[in-house]
Structure 1
Amino acid sequence: MITRLEKTLYRLEAQHACLTWAFEQIADKPGLIFELGLGLGRSFNHMRHKLGARAKDIVVFEREVRCYPDCQPDDDQLIIGNLDETLPAAAAKYAGKVVLAHSDVGSMDKGHNAYMSGLVSKNIGPALAPGAIVMSDLPLDIVGCTPHPLPGNARDDRYYLYTKTG
């Protein structure tokens, strides 16, 4: 059995490895990046720094902003509200324009995780461009997407990757 500390460490290692891999994959693909769940802003901050000029293409979804001050998205990048309302509307607005979606909306509550997995799975698909990448801390079942193997240094079941087919 692994400890809670090890679970966190392995999840962060997998998240970092998946982000690094995804940045390489989308380097020459125009489009938007969805960040579902700002939290403290660590992954948004990482994306913003690593993507350089593409940082303007990040659209962040958060119920209530409580991030570190230096991890605050610009107002024009931020969609505030419950994901069950904001994601379907944004998926329709940005249909076929998202090349990377990073979903980090899991918690310690299994019921919440099942709900959020279903919510993201049901609503993210229309936003995705052909060949888009979806990264998630929760397993997803997105119509038109197939699971993708994790990068070599990421542990299974700590993060999940999917690609949009067609």
Structure 2
Amino acid sequence: MSRLDSMLRRFTAQRDGLNWAADQIAGLPGDVLDLGLGNGRTYDHLREILPERRIRVIDRVLQCHPSCTPPAEDFLEGEAEPMLRRLNELGARIILAHYDFGMGIKADDVAEAARLSPLLARVMRTGGLIVSGQPLVGFEQISGPDTIAPDRYLFYRS
């Protein structure tokens, strides 16, 4: 598979997974967390499909497209570990998280996801959903939409 086809497959899975998760949390209380702002495409999509929800974002630096900049009070800039601790101290309870951290080196990305999983668990509401590009630990893995290959995106319940 070409890198272009792989990217299109990933973006489609990400969109379909987030749309599915948004339907699953309808009527449940809690905020949304986007872990890894990047260019802001996913954040922009979350704003569109969940306009009534507060969407918090964690990333090392703010370098997204200007139209996708989160409000200052919802952007936690810095390394994920201290930002997740801060979010916990703020009392945030997340009903939907999107985990999109990664440098593209699979072994390193998997290790980071495992290391951050317990911190993510502390801010999740019981029964909350996590849509993730990396395997997480300590959560119940569930099936997502049938349109997504099992190895492309992962779905968890807290």
Partner of 1:149: 143
* Residues 1:42 and 2:41 aligned together: yes
Provide the C-alpha distance between the structure 2 equivalents of 1:36 and 1:17, rounded to a whole number of angstroms: 18
Provide the C-alpha distance between the structure 2 equivalents of 1:64 and 1:134, rounded to a whole number of angstroms: 22
Contact 1:92 1:127 in 2 (8 A): no
Provide the C-alpha distance between the structure 2 equivalents of 1:41 and 1:14, rounded to a whole number of angstroms: 17
Give TM-score scaled by structure 1 length: 0.89
* TM-align CA RMSD: 1.4
Contact 1:92 1:126 in 2 (8 A): no
Q: Which amino acid aligns with 1:141?
A: V
Partner of 2:134: 138
Q: Which ranges in structure 2 are unaligned for 5 or more consecutive residues?
A: none
Q: Which ranges in structure 1 are unaligned for 5 or more consecutive residues?
A: none
Partner of 2:155: 161
Where in structure 2 are the equivalents of 1:1-166 lying within 5 Å? Answer: 2-54=1-53, 57-94=54-91, 97-142=93-138, 145-164=139-158
Deviation at residue 53 of structure 1 after TM alignment? 2.2
Deviation at residue 92 of structure 1 after TM alignment? 4.1
Contact 2:16 2:148 in 1 (8 A): yes
Secondary structure at the counterpart of residue 122 of structure 1: helix
- What's the CA shift string for 1:75-124, capped at 9, x where partnerless? 011111111211123134336x2100111002312343033212321211
Contact 1:101 1:133 in 2 (8 A): yes
Deviation at residue 21 of structure 1 after TM alignment? 0.6
Contact 1:91 1:125 in 2 (8 A): no
Secondary structure at the counterpart of residue 50 of structure 2: helix
Secondary structure at the counterpart of residue 88 of structure 1: helix
Secondary structure at the counterpart of residue 34 of structure 2: strand
- What's the CA shift string for 1:29-80, capped at 9, x where partnerless? 11111111100000000011111222xx111001101100101001011111
Which portions of structure 1, spanning 4 or more consecutive aligned residues, are displaced by more than 2 angstroms? 91-95
Report how many aligned residue pairs link the two structures: 158
- What's the CA shift string for 1:115-147, capped at 9, x where partnerless? 3212321211111111100111101112xx210
Give TM-score scaled by structure 2 length: 0.93
Secondary structure at the counterpart of residue 132 of structure 1: strand
